Amino acid sequence: MPKVSEFQRFLYDNCQLFNNFMVILGKAQKMDQKSRCENCIVRQFNSLRAMTKEELKRVSDSKLMKTVKKGEALFEEGDKLNGVYCVRNGVSKLSKLSANGKDQIVKLATKGEVMGQRSVIVEETANLSAVAVNDMEVCFIPKEAIVNTLHSNPDFTYEVLRHMAHHLKEADDVIVNMSQKTVKQRIAEAFLYLKHNYGEDKDGYLLLTLSREDIANVVGTATESCIRIISEFKKKGLLKSSGKKLGIVDEKGLQDLADGF
Amino acid sequence: MPKVSEFQRFLYDNCQLFNNFMVILGKAQKMDQKSRCENCIVRQFNSLRAMTKEELKRVSDSKLMKTVKKGEALFEEGDKLNGVYCVRNGVSKLSKLSANGKDQIVKLATKGEVMGQRSVIVEETANLSAVAVNDMEVCFIPKEAIVNTLHSNPDFTYEVLRHMAHHLKEADDVIVNMSQKTVKQRIAEAFLYLKHNYGEDKDGYLLLTLSREDIANVVGTATESCIRIISEFKKKGLLKSSGKKLGIVDEKGLQDLADGF
DNA sequence: CGTAAAAGCTGACATATATCATTGTTTGCC
DNA sequence: GGCAAACAATGATATATGTCAGCTTTTACG
């Protein structure tokens, strides 16, 4: 029934009542045992693990799974979020448009991470946009399920707090890096980050491939500068490439560079 | 009794048991009614306002007041914090030393703000150093009082979470500004920030006076560049100065500049 | 398969910013 | 009041990075 999916799309793009409709449309999906939160391994990595069986059951009943294609947005800066997104698969970039028209990528969110928490907790519109870097599978969890649990289960609240505290530390560190390191250092760091967080294949190529533009937006530089520096790293034997894929050849060299020799 | 204060200093600098001793030494102070948390207006601005009367009483019994002179550190990056600091008066800079030897000021903390929360919550050493920008009055609250309440009072935990979420948003915005705005824009923004958050006197001079070096460390630039741009702003009639004091003359002009014309 | 669009690359050049060196000015303090 | 130390100011110069423009390669897709 292709009509239904177009209707979903329409609602998603335009309609305040999106969530209510989606819940109805999603009923069929929810019967799938494999998609129950209680059995979802991803939950172990985020604050949902502090929920009780009953709470999880309620979340699972109200959540709905969604696939997002590479390049599609989960939400945009300024959107009112009616819930959070739990990443089952794929990677999303969380970015913000600056006055000069460039996107700054503030964070990458992977399997297990929950997006939109902050906005739901403080009841503000989204501060960042979330766009899929590759094909994704996410679960949308309506905010009521989250907010209710926040008020009734202190363990869950504490767990969310711990995660938020961790993100805050990371953000502080990014601030320092952004303002005190050169573009070259930040690019070197970005590759080390990609290797350590997303790993590499048997041939030593990074599993997560970002475009030069995305890398530039992560480190906050012009795309051309980013390309130039990557070329330089390849010439120096720090990186290698094969098609779109990039791989780290000399990790120690990159690390030294990132640390300022 | 000058001996006691030297002893306090010694403990503060060197001793793991610092807190225990200080509690004993602080008994006399605690009797002062004016210093009871229950009556402290500062509390209204931070998460302590979500504490119950009993919890506050316990905090008040275990807390100790402390004065910190301009330039002194409350704690340093890497310190193990045995509690949090609630600012009653004065301003502290929270900064981190980068590899190139420069301090990046990540945040300024004022009256009502609680410092060190994050480290206490996640049980990590401090990620930032806190140094007094001017003379301060702070209350040290041992971590037990905080952690116990976090586990027993969900309202308090939620309130802390809301504050943390707010800080995270601010941090994300700083990341975007740092990477996408020019030094000139960031300095203009810094002055607007100082005016809006700390106000100005009748003559239009900012109430919080930061050294050029501190301003440079806030916006992440070299001190000389900062001085040059401030001079330029003065020539252009955007700022004025009198002794150490700086004042905003043309707020709209500064705002336009910060927004990129 | 072929074409258009997107992504990647490179050069030339402009500019913002850092760095180093020197001098002037304020401040705290004996 | 005077002196040292910190702070502020300014010039000269080097460097990193952004911008614009043109070109090549890869990818998407009808």
A260–B150 CB contact, under 8 Å: no
pLDDT at A14 over 60: no
B146 chain-A contacts, CB cut-off 8 A: none
Distance B225 CA to C17 C1' (A): 7
pLDDT at B239 over 80: yes
Please tell me the predicted confidence (pLDDT) of residue B100: 83
B96 chain-A contacts, CB cut-off 8 A: 172-173, 176
What mean pLDDT, rounded, does chain B reach?
88
pLDDT mean over B205-226: 97
A158–B157 CB contact, under 8 Å: yes
A158–B151 CB contact, under 8 Å: yes
Candidates B106, B157, B162; nearest CB to A154:
B157
Distance A245 CA to D26 C1' (A): 12
SS3 A71: coil
A16 Cα to chain B: minimum distance (Å):
25
Q: Which amino acid would we find at residue A184?
A: K
DSSP 8-state code for residue A116: S
Neighbours of A203 (CB within 10 A): 9
pLDDT mean over B78-104: 94
In window 201-240 of B, residues with CB < 7 A from nucleic chain D are: 211-213, 224, 227-228, 230-231
Distance B222 CA to D10 C1' (A): 15
Handedness of CA B100, B106, B108, B109 (dihedral sign): negative
Candidates B98, B157, B171; nearest CB to A171:
B171
pLDDT at B142 over 90: yes
Q: Does B162 touch chain A (CB under 8 A)?
A: yes
Q: Give the confidence band of A21 by pLDDT, cuts at 50, 70, 90.
A: very low
Please tell me the predicted confidence (pLDDT) of residue A32: 52
A154 chain-B contacts, CB cut-off 8 A: 150-154, 157
Please tell me the predicted confidence (pLDDT) of residue A99: 84
Q: What is the C-alpha separation between A74 and A95, in angstroms, rounded?
A: 12
Q: What is the C-alpha separation between B40 and B53, in angstroms, rounded?
A: 13
What mean pLDDT, rounded, does chain A reach?
88
Mutation for testing the A interface, residue in B52, B161, B177, B259 having most A CBs under 10 Å? B161
A99–B181 CB contact, under 8 Å: yes
Handedness of CA B164, B168, B170, B174 (dihedral sign): positive
Q: What tens digit of pLDDT does each residue of B31-64 get?
A: 455 578 899 999 889 999 999 999 999 999 999 9
Candidates A102, A160, A178; nearest CB to B178:
A178
Residue of B nearest to A256 (CA): B99
Candidates B106, B122, B162; nearest CB to A172:
B106
B167–A165 CB contact, under 8 Å: no
Please tell me the predicted confidence (pLDDT) of residue A142: 97
Q: Which amino acid would we find at residue A3?
A: K
Q: Give the confidence band of B220 by pLDDT, cuts at 50, 70, 90.
A: very high
Candidates A96, A121, A165; nearest CB to B122:
A165
pLDDT mean over A217-235: 97
Mutation for testing the B interface, residue in A55, A149, A179, A225 having most B CBs under 10 Å? A179
Ranges A18-27, A153-162, A214-223, B162-171: which has the least confidence? A18-27
Q: What tens digit of pLDDT does each residue of A165-182 get?
A: 999 999 999 999 999 999
Please tell me the predicted confidence (pLDDT) of residue A244: 86
pLDDT top residue among A244 and A230: A230
Q: What tens digit of pLDDT does each residue of A47-105 get?
A: 999 999 999 999 999 999 999 999 999 999 999 999 999 999 999 999 999 988 899 99
Q: Are A88 and A44 in contact (CB under 8 A)?
A: no
> What are the residues with a C-beta under 7 Å from any atom of nucleic chain C?
A 211-213, 224, 227-228, 230-231, 241, 244; B 100, 182-184, 220-222, 224-225, 243-244
A171–B166 CB contact, under 8 Å: no
SS3 of chain B:
CHHHHHHHHHHHHHCCCHHHHHHHHCHHHHCCHHHCHHHCHHHHHCHHHHCCHHHHHHHHHHCEEEEECCCCEEECCCCCCCEEEEEEECCEEEEEECCCCCEEEEEEECCCCEECHHHHHHCCCCCCEEEECCCEEEEEEEHHHHHHHHHHCHHHHHHHHHHHHHHHHHHHHHHHHHHHCCHHHHHHHHHHHHHHHHCECCCCEECCCCCHHHHHHHHCCCHHHHHHHHHHHHHCCCEEEECCEEEECCHHHHHHHHCCC
Residue of A nearest to B163 (CA): A122
pLDDT at A8 over 60: no
- The torsion angle over the Cα atoms of residues A131, A80, A41 and A31, rounded to 10 degrees, is -110
Q: Give the confidence band of B2 by pLDDT, cuts at 50, 70, 90.
A: very low
Q: Does B160 touch chain A (CB under 8 A)?
A: yes
pLDDT at B133 over 90: yes
